[in-house]
Structure 1
Amino acid sequence: MSDPLIICVCDYWRRCHYHNRPNREAGDSCPKLKLLRRLRIHVDAINGNYYLREFLHQKVLAQSLRHTNGVQLVWLQFEEPEKDTIDYRFADMLAHTLWEHIEVEHLMSWLSTLGGGFSALGEQFERCAETAGKISLQQLKIGLRLGDPFLQTRCKLYFSISLIQRGQLRAAKHLIRKQYDFARRNVEKDVRLVRMCLGIWQRLSYEYEQRRMRKRRN
């Protein structure tokens, strides 16, 4: 089996990065290489990346250069482009994504304020506790859209508070335990999440104690 076509990319700073080099990993930098029959191509960095991809993936092209022209090494000399190319389509996509995240964060702030108010009223009125739970579920949908597992966990903990206020202690217990397991596995990233779980668990324990006391009186 013949040796693969070696590709060398020489960047702006004259650093050489080799691909398909025997006994070397792709992207290795080393200025020394034995004398080989080479094809030197001077190209700007933008088009040079397309050249590199074609040389690496087009096996027929590589074999043709080796067997027909006797080329053992393709030397891509990258040069700075005369004019930078702006990808307007990608820029529009990025701007849309950033704007969407900004709007979602703004919406989350409003929902957090609204949910906190209903949660406070939920201590006295079950209907308000139910509304606070619905707001938490809406926040959870946003967390799922953003793909943020920590935000999702916080929303589930908010919902567990609503469950506690409505007397659904067993469901709240299982929900808090699952979020606590996640928080412990990621305690280095968000220690506040663990404290939040412990605080809500204390509230749950208090409600269980109050329920036991009421049963004893009856």
Structure 2
Amino acid sequence: MALIVCVCDYWNHRHFYNRPVPDRFQMLCGGEGNTTVKTEPVRRLVLELDAVRGNYVLRELLQQRVLKQWLLRELGVRLVWLRFQMPQRWSIDYKWAEMMAHTIWTHIELEHLMCWLSTLGGGYSALGDQFARYAQTAGEISLQQLAIGLRLGDPFLQARCKLYYSISLIQRGQLRSAKFLIRAQYRFACGLHKKRDKRLMRMCLGVWGRLCYEYEQRQKQRLSIENGKRFE
């Protein structure tokens, strides 16, 4: 048995929560003239509150299991009717505003830091083709970007940072690890979400092309070494 909550707003629009789905068989029988559907009386609790206090009461009714059981078992209430009225005085939640301001400012600073790391990582990655230590530094920068992506909670940003790290792996010759990492991000971009990230898919294909090129160069190098040994 669930507690039904109905909210009546300023325009007398009704919004139901935990409303049971009507039985199809009863709906079908109700359309016939000779058939009557028995309905049990429902005890209701009507509360007239301003919108600010009513919102707190609504959250308590939806989240507090003990309160719902107490209303159902002790008072026998099956329906709570919340009628919202225009508050006489609007109150500002300064604590919540301070928390939101801190969160927004943190996101701004993290995104600003991400831009700087992207510029710096791109420079080290460009030099990583000739120098292994620059490729190592570019990989460390990508891991720092991944930590920021985890803090921001953006899964697509995290996937892009992992792709940046796979480029560092390719430059350092760790092709097998890069291969599994690129495949995982491509599967994530294609199949794990309803909305596909085409940008991430193109990035995966581009890095995969770089990986295939490195495999071909490694294979040519092996063939040249084997041929050189044969002629010795």
Give the alignment's TM-score, normalised by structure 2: 0.74
Q: 1:213 to 1:80 in 2, by over 3 A?
A: same
Instruction: Look up the match of 2:105.
Output: 99
Deviation at 1:14, TM superposition (A): 1.4
How do residues 48-67 of structure 1 correspond to structure 2 at under 5 angstroms? 48-52=54-58, 57-61=67-71
2:132 corresponds to 1:134: no
Once the two structures are TM-superposed, the CA of residue 49 in structure 1 deviates from its matched residue by 3.5
Q: Is the 8 A contact 1:187 1:193 kept in 2?
A: no
Within 5 Å, which residues of 2 pair with 1:116-135?
Answer: 116-135=122-141
In structure 2, the residue matched to 1:202 is: 209
2:26 is aligned to: none
- Distance (whole Å) between structure 1 residues aligned to residue 203 and residue 48 of structure 2: 59
Out of 146, 152, 164, the residue aligned to residue 158 of structure 1 is 164
Cα 1:125–1:13 shift into 2, 3 Å? same
The residue number in structure 2 matching 1:182 is 188
Secondary structure in structure 2 of the residue aligned to 1:9: strand
Name the CA distance, whole Å, in 2 between partners of 1:201 and 1:4: 53
Q: Distance in 2 between matches of 1:89 and 1:155?
A: 35
- How well do the aligned residues superpose, as a CA RMSD in angstroms? 3.2
Structure 2 spans left out of the alignment, 5+ residues: 23-39, 226-232
Between the aligned partners of 1:58 and 1:144, the Cα distance in structure 2 is 37
Q: Structure 1: 5+ residue runs without aligned partners?
A: 25-33
How many residues were matched structurally?
204
Q: How does 1:32-51 map to 2 (within 5 A)?
A: 41-51=47-57
1:191 deviates by 0.5
Residue by residue over 1:8-27, the C-alpha shift from the partner in whole angstroms, topping out at 9 and shown as x without a partner, is 53210012345677876xxx
For 1:11, the equivalent position in structure 2 comes to: 9
Alignment partner, residue 146 of structure 1: 152
CA contact (8 A) 1:123 1:165 kept: yes
Residues 55 and 62, structure 1, Cα contact 8 Å, conserved in 2 = no
Structure 1 residues 85 and 192, CA gap change in structure 2 (3 angstroms): same
* C-alpha displacement of 1:60: 4.1
Q: Deviations over 1:50-72 (max 9, x none)?
A: 44566773544566656xxxx98
Pick closer, same or farther for the CA change 1:8–1:167 going to 2, 3 Å.
Answer: closer
Distance 1:20 1:121 in 2: 60
Shift of 1:208: 1.0
